[in-house]
Structure formats: structure tokens, C-alpha cells
Amino acid sequence: MIYSPKSISNAVQILQDDPDAQILSGGTDFMVEVNFGHRAPTSVLSLRAIKELCTWSQQDGVIRIGSALPYAQMETGPLAKLLPALAQAARTVGSPQIRAAGTLGGNLGTSSPAGDSLPVLYALDATIIIATATGERRMAVKDFMVGPKRNALSKGEIITAVELPASTGYQGYSKVGVRNAMVISIASACLVHNPIDRSVRLAMGTVGPTIIRASAAEKWLGEECDLASASSITPAICAEFGRRCGDESQPITDHRSTAEYRRHAVSVITSRLLERCAAS
């Protein structure tokens, strides 16, 4: 059975009656698994027809992105100016056709450590908005992912939106894969500089069971430099920061890479992101 509700309340009601229905957003992971014969769900709930999930808005410095808004709309245009790191991450998703389909809700629902947008959400301390049978609940993204492809979403719930603060300083995203296009990451990272609260936040993807914030490296950097501006960040500090980020990663060896290479790669990209921040 396939359900195509037109409203969130209708979708939540459907999940009350059929709690095992697989939620389908852009389909860039799920449909591939279906075509491979790895998944054969008896019922599917498509979010595509729920127009309110495909919009975004901005109020008081907070940007709210609907869970079914495709990446194509984050890559360029007004959203890209408000959230440059998200635009860069969106640009690395698949190809133009995939970016016309894939969504933040899909990345969160799948909760793969290689989800391209997830390091951005972690570095920006995003809030996830979830529709439940009784209303709505909000959750910090750091509490959302609990393991590889496992998250805190309960049966009957639907991710409806993500809330993020608008950019206040440099932010950047970097990803390593075997080629430039249509690639699943080997390591990824997002760095966000906030000169107002004098912080740098750094989140790493594909180098652990969940996205990992490099909290110790962030703290060390805050002690080494006055982060009211990026001008005191030296090349030596960038190199040491990258090394410390690598220390905080928890990579595994699998068919895409060795743990050793992942740790090396994430050290290099985190160091480069800080160099770009210093040069900004």
C-alpha cells in the first residue's frame, strides 16, 4: 500500500493506523534499496504531496527548513547566502537529479554517518522538529542520531523541519570521496566560526558511528586564540587543530576506506577548513 497524504496531521493519522509504514522522502537511499531487492516494505508513506514540508522560512535569525525541501533549493539562491556551509554540503550530494530529490528529512531519517548534510546540522546545533500523535516535539540534533542508521525517532513520528541559526561568520564544508561526482563520502566535516560568542564548532561525518563534534579540539582552539576574529589563527594552529580533530574521530575500516585513511583525511580537511576560516 502507498499513502500520499497532503497534510502532516493526515500523515500522522496514517501512521497511527499503520505504524510499520516506511516513510519515503526523496527516495535517494530507500528506492535504491528497493530496486536492489534489499527492502520490500508492505506499506510506504510518501511525504512528497505535503506541501508544507517543502518550504522554508526565516524569523529572528532562525531558519526553518521543511524536512522535504530538496537540496537543489539549498545549493543556490537566498538559502545559500544564509547558510553557506549547508549550500556547500548540498552541492556535494549526488548529482543535479539527486539534489532535486534528496532532503534533510531523508538524511536524518536514514541517519547514515555518511549523510552529507548531517555535519552541518551538528556544527550549527540544529533543532529537529518532530510531529507526533499528540502534537510536536523538538530535539537537539546531537541527541537525534544514536548509532549508524539508528535514531531517536519513535514509531508514528515524522520529521517535519530543521531549525538552524543564520550565519554570523565563516562557515565551510569539506568532503573526501573517490571522485568529485555521485560519491558517498569517506570523510566529511563542517566548520562554523561565530565571532560573537567567540567559538569555532567542528563536526565530522563518516568517521564514527554518528556524526562527531570535535569538542576537545574546539576547546583547545578557544584557549589558543581569541576567536572574536579569525586573524590570530596561524598555520601551525591549523595543523595542530586538524591533528586533534583526527584524534577525536572514531573511524572504521569498510569497503570504502580504511580507518587509517579516514583519520588522515579528516585531519587534512579539518585543518584546511580552519585555514579557510583564517583567510576569510
Partner 1 sequence: MSQMIKVAITVNGQHTTAMVEPRTLLVQYLRDNLNLTATNVGCDTSSCGACTVHLNGEAVKSCTILAVQADGENVTTVEGLANGNEMHPMQQAFMANHGLQCGYCTPGMVMAAISLVKDIPNPTEEDVRIGLEGNLCRCTGYHNIVQSVLAYAEGK
Choose which of 182, 215, 228, 247 interacts with partner 1 (CB under 8 A).
182
Q: How far is the CB of 69 from partner 1 (least distance, A)?
A: 13
Residue 45 sits in the site that holds partner 1 (CB under 8 A): no
Residue 55 sits in the site that holds partner 1 (CB under 8 A): no
Choose which of 22, 48, 256, 272 interacts with partner 1 (CB under 8 A).
48
Residue 92 sits in the site that holds partner 1 (CB under 8 A): no
| Between 5 and 242, CB nearer to partner 1 | 5
3-state helix, strand, coil in the chain (%, to 5): 35, 25, 40
Q: How far is the CB of 5 from partner 1 (least distance, A)?
A: 12
Binding mask 138-167 for partner 1 (x = CB under 8 A): ------------------------------
Q: How far is the CB of 89 from partner 1 (least distance, A)?
A: 16
Residue 101 sits in the site that holds partner 1 (CB under 8 A): yes
Q: How far is the CB of 177 from partner 1 (least distance, A)?
A: 12
Residue 216 sits in the site that holds partner 1 (CB under 8 A): no
Distance, in Å, from the CA atom of 31 to the CA atom of 38, rounded to the nearest integer, reads: 10
Choose which of 1, 62, 140, 228 interacts with partner 1 (CB under 8 A).
1
Residue 272 sits in the site that holds partner 1 (CB under 8 A): no
Find residue 76's DSSP bridge partners: none
Residue 94 sits in the site that holds partner 1 (CB under 8 A): yes
Strands 158-165 and 145-147: unpaired
- CB of 173 within 8 A of CB of 89? yes
Which element (helix H / strand E) includes 21? none
* Residues between 23 and 42 that touch partner 1 (CB under 8 A): 24, 27-28, 31-32, 34-36
Distance, in Å, from the CA atom of 213 to the CA atom of 208, rounded to the nearest integer, reads: 10
**Secondary structure of residue 261 in the 3-state scheme:** helix
Q: How far is the CB of 116 from partner 1 (least distance, A)?
A: 14
CA torsion through residues 87, 92, 98, 103, sign:
negative
What's the distance, CA 165 to chain centroid?
A: 14
Distance, in Å, from the CA atom of 178 to the CA atom of 181, rounded to the nearest integer, reads: 9
| Between 19 and 77, CB nearer to partner 1 | 77
| Between 77 and 148, CB nearer to partner 1 | 77
Distance, in Å, from the CA atom of 61 to the CA atom of 163, rounded to the nearest integer, reads: 10
Q: How far is the CB of 35 from partner 1 (least distance, A)?
A: 4
H-only helix segments in 20-154: 30-36, 72-75, 78-82, 84-91, 96-99, 104-110, 118-123, 141-144
Residue 97 sits in the site that holds partner 1 (CB under 8 A): yes
- CB of 45 within 8 A of CB of 66? no
| Site residues (vs partner 1, CB under 8 A) | 1-2, 4, 24, 27-28, 31-32, 34-36, 44, 46, 48, 72, 94-98, 100-101, 180-182
